């Protein structure tokens, strides 16, 4: 019976995480962690480790799909990734020096509000408009935004994928598909770093849950990424908005249960 429950929970956790990753470059940790903690009674550290491991392949496959469809900015993505990783470590250190505050709800509200934004005010920037920005300016913007996103994520401990999507579309002026493709490209490396650190420090988690979450997240992320790259910009905005809004509500309800 326990195995059946684990399969069901991991399936729905992977479903939500995969759709969030494939459509919006969302971190799997935002969906998988609370579900494993609440429904399976798993420790937060173990749940986050599983979520990060699930994020690695799902983000990598999504990035490959977006890249194959020429919806990935590798050059600036690498620059942003390096600054995000460095500043996440700095933000984590600073956070350890200040009084403990509960800020996990940040990613929930970010997810919900971004979902509403994509429905009400879709991102209709074209690739032609993106190319009008000089490479030097784009490089500087990537560094500055990487510093901002990394520090906030390290300090708060959540919202990395959502912060990157918001910055890429609203600040850097990326077309939506390229923004998501670049976001999942960055998330694949940050998730691998996080997962490796968790397993090195805390040991291997529940192996069955780990395998199930990785497989289900990977499957749904691949489906979502394929759909996203074939869809029109208007359709993708609506689909992304609906998925993020629903995930925001679900995560909020799950968090309420834990209180």
* SS3 readout for 139-182: HHHHHHHHHHHHHHHHHHCCCHHHHHHHHHHHHCCCCHHHHHHH
Most confidently modeled of 15-19, 148-152, 200-204?
15-19
- List own/partner pairs for 103-106 with CB under 8 A and 24 or more apart: 103/156, 103/157, 103/158, 104/157, 104/158, 104/255, 105/252, 105/255, 106/156, 106/158, 106/159
Per the CB < 8 A criterion, the answer to whether 87 and 72 are in contact is no
Measured distance CA(224)–CA(19) in Å, rounded: 6
pLDDT tens per residue across span 109-150: 667 777 787 788 777 777 777 777 788 888 888 888 888 887
Q: Read off the DSSP letter of residue 70.
A: T
Q: What average pLDDT score do residues 203-228 get?
A: 93
Percentage above 90 pLDDT, the chain: 19
Tokens 């090195």 belong to which residue?
A: 200
When pLDDT is cut at 50, 70 and 90, the band that residue 259 belongs to is low
Q: What pLDDT is recorded for position 227?
A: 92
When pLDDT is cut at 50, 70 and 90, the band that residue 92 belongs to is low
Q: What pLDDT is recorded for position 108?
A: 67
Instruction: Say which residue, 193 or 220, is predicted with more confidence.
Output: 220
When pLDDT is cut at 50, 70 and 90, the band that residue 102 belongs to is very low
When pLDDT is cut at 50, 70 and 90, the band that residue 156 belongs to is low
Most confidently modeled of 37-51, 218-232, 234-248?
218-232
For the entire predicted model, the pTM comes to 0.82
Measured distance CA(134)–CA(5) in Å, rounded: 53
When pLDDT is cut at 50, 70 and 90, the band that residue 66 belongs to is very high
Percentage above 70 pLDDT, the chain: 86
When pLDDT is cut at 50, 70 and 90, the band that residue 103 belongs to is very low
Contacts of 234 (CB under 8 A, 6+ apart): 122, 124
Rounded to 5 degrees, φ, ψ at 203 are 80, 180
Q: What average pLDDT score do residues 210-216 get?
A: 95
Per the CB < 8 A criterion, the answer to whether 178 and 127 are in contact is yes
Per the CB < 8 A criterion, the answer to whether 209 and 72 are in contact is no
Most confidently modeled of 34-43, 139-148, 186-195, 206-215?
206-215
Which of 175, 184, 182, 168 lies closest to 237 in space, CA to CA?
Answer: 175
Q: What average pLDDT score do residues 252-259 get?
A: 69
By CB atoms closer than 10 A (0-12, 13-18, 19+), residue 39 is middle
Q: What pLDDT is recorded for position 130?
A: 74
When pLDDT is cut at 50, 70 and 90, the band that residue 60 belongs to is very high
Helix boundaries (H) for the chain: 2-24, 29-40, 44-68, 74-97, 105-120, 127-130, 135-156, 160-166, 176-202, 207-230, 233-258
Domain ranges across the chain: 2-258
């Amino acid at each position: 019976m326990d195995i059946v429950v684990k399969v069901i929970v991991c399936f729905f956790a992977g479903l939500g995480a995969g759709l969030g990753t494939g459509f919006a470059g969302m971190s799997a940790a935002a969906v998988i962690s609370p579900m494993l903690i609440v429904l399976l009674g798993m420790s937060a550290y173990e749940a986050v480790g599983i979520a990060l491991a699930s994020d690695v392949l799902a983000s990598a496959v999504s990035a490959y799909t977006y890249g194959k469809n020429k919806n990935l900015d590798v050059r600036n993505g690498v620059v942003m990734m390096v600054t995000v990783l460095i500043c996440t470590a700095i933000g984590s250190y600073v956070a350890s020096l200040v009084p403990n505050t509960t800020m996990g709800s940040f990613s929930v509200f970010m997810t919900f509000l971004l979902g509403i934004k994509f429905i009400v005010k879709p991102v209709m920037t074209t690739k032609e408009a993106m190319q009008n920005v000089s490479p030097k300016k784009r490089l500087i913007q990537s560094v500055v935004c990487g510093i901002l996103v990394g520090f906030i994520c390290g300090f708060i401990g959540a919202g990395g994928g959502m912060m990157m999507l918001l910055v890429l579309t609203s600040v850097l002026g990326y077309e939506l598909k390229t923004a998501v493709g670049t976001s999942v490209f960055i998330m694949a490396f940050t998730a691998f770093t996080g997962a490796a650190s968790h397993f090195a420090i805390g040991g291997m988690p529940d192996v069955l849950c780990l395998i199930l979450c990785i497989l289900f997240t990977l499957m749904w992320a691949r489906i979502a990424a394929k759909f996203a790259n074939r869809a029109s910009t208007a359709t993708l905005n609506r689909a992304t908005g609906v998925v993020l809004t629903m995930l925001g509500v679900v995560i909020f309800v799950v968090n309420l249960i834990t209180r």
